[in-house]
Structure 1
């Protein structure tokens, strides 16, 4: 994946580099800025005039962009949370039986990364071509049998614009809940309000997914109890790809992955040993994460993020791509979508009012200042699993930044009603039309799958004998049908 570089001039000459879904700050992936780069209530100016009305929607129907399957409805635009906060979304009706098909939102990570990444690089109705200017129809699109809504969140991300006041995953959950209440209240989309609902996400989605699902369940309960008013979201499924959920479980595995991932070591043994010392030493990464867990202090958690990413996450990747260890640091795959989405003709067609950027450094900065990165989202994930929500944790075995070894360690440390069963289960080979595509386990309504030959954005990759996104489409379809992972 290429490093899309944007240097922001600040008083202290702080530099951010947009690198896929995780910004590089002063040379450190997931680093913490040493000064602020945004006034919290700063407002981005839209390029195209519009009149936001709090609690209402503004959108364009059937732009003809991306989804070109005859008869399939699409719409794109804004849900105005307030008169100064407009959240961008792009909706694609299911290609088959949309009235009864499940409804899913998709959220990319960062924090601060646009969900247009998932749409155009991974599993949307079209996929960006290598020329970075055109798109091709995707036969393995996730909207084949599911109504898909891609959301740029929080405010300030992607095409969204307005007052920036979200500093963590739990605040983000509340904002997206409000956005969805506006969405389902609109006459065009109210018919989907009672359909089965799902959340799929990746990367920082290891924080977003558990926080959003847990919050949505609590809001549903409050509506049922009559303490608040609103539309119940019929949450049935949560999917998280290559996610950061439990740093204390996941960070030790950076050393393991750097030395023994399935492809090649990323750095020398001496660098791995230095990082290992930084994790276990007195006052090191481990103790700082533990202090963050115990106190929840923004300064403690932010310092833990800075120390751990500076001394462990960043140096261990060496000259390889953090999203695919098989490639060099300037890997151009998946193709950059910036030129496509900043084309003014396209922006006019879809109703976009803000110049698109892959990752908002301002939003990332606001999260980094609170240390939200280092908070433990596993308790929320356990709550969701124990509530009976079908949960799928998946990852690509070539990813480094949220590597499968760390994800599996996180899963092994979960305490749910299915944990004992999960531990007793042996991994099985996951096949797609007879082709070996990964390893999986099922336990109750919980499933974990490791996908062979895939990087950070699992649906963007293929494996021998399979088309791009084919394996991901299979496990997504199975989960959305309420089924466990099953080989074909």
Structure 2
């Protein structure tokens, strides 16, 4: 018994200050040369038998002192490995679905990057009971517990600065997670950053109609009808207007934006795969191309969601494909048995897909606006907050996020005790917020960029400097 107790405490001693050796990725298929930095992949177990898959890549600069940056993709229900393999990870998947190329603008050039597949049911994350109905509150708690578990497994990073980042529906995930993290003194939270995020459903809906009109997508007759039926006293309500004529015209707007062949993530780029309907039956599989985040308060949207749930219950196979995207290379790579083995993927995990239809269709959207969470962060006067947008993305457009930032009524102050710098570089949009702002709070627009590409262009804009997340 004494030997057993000794071995137990020896195990705690040896394993208490180092990363879990079993999770280290020692060989990653698809690379001509294995990386010089360490990386880990495994599971963070949270409440009630839920297991969130993570992929952690150490900084190429100085892992011991560089910040830890959490990244969450949106959806809801889409995998953060899409961010790793196609946006700002150290490796970019090639069209053959086999080869990886190093990314010269990877965020792990200056930070330790933690990619978390959340919620449970997304990507390689799974639940023992295989039940994947969830909501914003449960997800924020599970993400918080996952962070706690991560730092338990990697205690050597617990003193590093922590930043929470994400895009799209990450605009909900990140502030609601930050609200929990800022209450835990053991987590060294320094700030948050959200790109093309869903900050307010109301402002996103209202701004989308203006965005579409002023980009020449809506005809003069439709615009006149929208002004007649949706507006009064100089103010338009495209969000929850109960006028049936208004709702009908907004249905036309949604068809133009989402179902006419336009690329909702990059207005000026072709739509990969051509024009598709919002759903189709392909070889007995129901394919859905709508993440369900726009005009959610209108009757036809509720009927549409009911129809989708009904159709999904009739099909054994349902696939959720964001429009105008090609996830085939990533799917081929991540479902390769050698890759799964290298990443220590559980046999209980499903095949990897970019977005989970089950999670998305059954997701409980509880936060229509996250101003409360942002104001709580800002009132603490110690966290850096960055909201950044590409200007050609329609899913979560720059105008809605700029309105959201302005609605928080944060005074711009420049005192000698605060370090401020101009935001306007070559890539910045010269808007009213493109001026010297204090580092605590800023909105940044990136010209000619999108939800998926803004992160890379931000990295490229600082490639010749030693910019760190703490200076964003």
Superposed pair shares fold, TM > 0.5: yes
Per-residue deviation, 1:359: 0.7
Residue in structure 2 matched with residue 227 of structure 1 by the alignment: none
CA deviation profile, 1:364-406 (whole Å, cap 9, x unmatched) = 1222xx343x611111112112222101111111101111111
- The question of 1:152 aligning with 2:147 is answered no
Residue in structure 2 matched with residue 131 of structure 1 by the alignment: 96
1:236 and 1:389 in contact (8 A); partners too: yes
Matches within 5 A, 1:190-209: 190-209=155-174
What's the C-alpha RMSD, in Å, of the aligned pairs?
3.4
1:242 and 1:394 in contact (8 A); partners too: yes
- The question of 1:471 aligning with 2:465 is answered no
Between the aligned partners of 2:237 and 2:121, the Cα distance in structure 1 is: 34
1:142 and 1:473 in contact (8 A); partners too: no
Between the aligned partners of 2:90 and 2:98, the Cα distance in structure 1 is: 16
Between the aligned partners of 1:145 and 1:69, the Cα distance in structure 2 is: 19
1:458 and 1:472 in contact (8 A); partners too: no
- The question of 1:361 aligning with 2:326 is answered no
1:267/1:341 CA distance change after superposition, 3 Å: farther
1:100/1:251 CA distance change after superposition, 3 Å: same
Per-residue deviation, 1:327: 2.2
2:428 and 2:444 in contact (8 A); partners too: no
Size of the aligned set, in residue pairs, is 379
Give the greater-gyration-radius structure (CA): 2
Between the aligned partners of 1:474 and 1:382, the Cα distance in structure 2 is: 34
1:72 and 1:94 in contact (8 A); partners too: yes
Between the aligned partners of 2:398 and 2:456, the Cα distance in structure 1 is: 16
Residue in structure 2 matched with residue 286 of structure 1 by the alignment: 239
| Other structure's SS at 1:133 match | coil
Per-residue deviation, 1:193: 0.8
Residue in structure 2 matched with residue 51 of structure 1 by the alignment: none
Match of 1:447 among 431, 442, 451: 442
- The question of 1:78 aligning with 2:43 is answered yes
Residue in structure 1 matched with residue 87 of structure 2 by the alignment: 122
CA deviation profile, 1:412-437 (whole Å, cap 9, x unmatched) = 1113354999xxxxx96632xxx445
Per-residue deviation, 1:471: 3.0
Q: Which runs of 5+ in 1 are unaligned?
A: 1-55, 221-231, 290-305, 422-426, 463-467
1:117/1:474 CA distance change after superposition, 3 Å: farther
Per-residue deviation, 1:338: 1.7
Match of 1:167 among 101, 126, 134: 134
1:437 and 1:452 in contact (8 A); partners too: yes
Between the aligned partners of 2:34 and 2:223, the Cα distance in structure 1 is: 50
Per-residue deviation, 1:88: 0.2
2:25 and 2:342 in contact (8 A); partners too: no
2:222 and 2:249 in contact (8 A); partners too: no
Q: Which runs of 5+ in 2 are unaligned?
A: 1-18, 274-323, 416-420
1:451/1:106 CA distance change after superposition, 3 Å: same
Residue in structure 2 matched with residue 22 of structure 1 by the alignment: none
1:429 and 1:438 in contact (8 A); partners too: no
- The question of 1:407 aligning with 2:358 is answered no
| Other structure's SS at 2:105 match | coil
| Other structure's SS at 2:192 match | strand
Residue in structure 1 matched with residue 191 of structure 2 by the alignment: 237
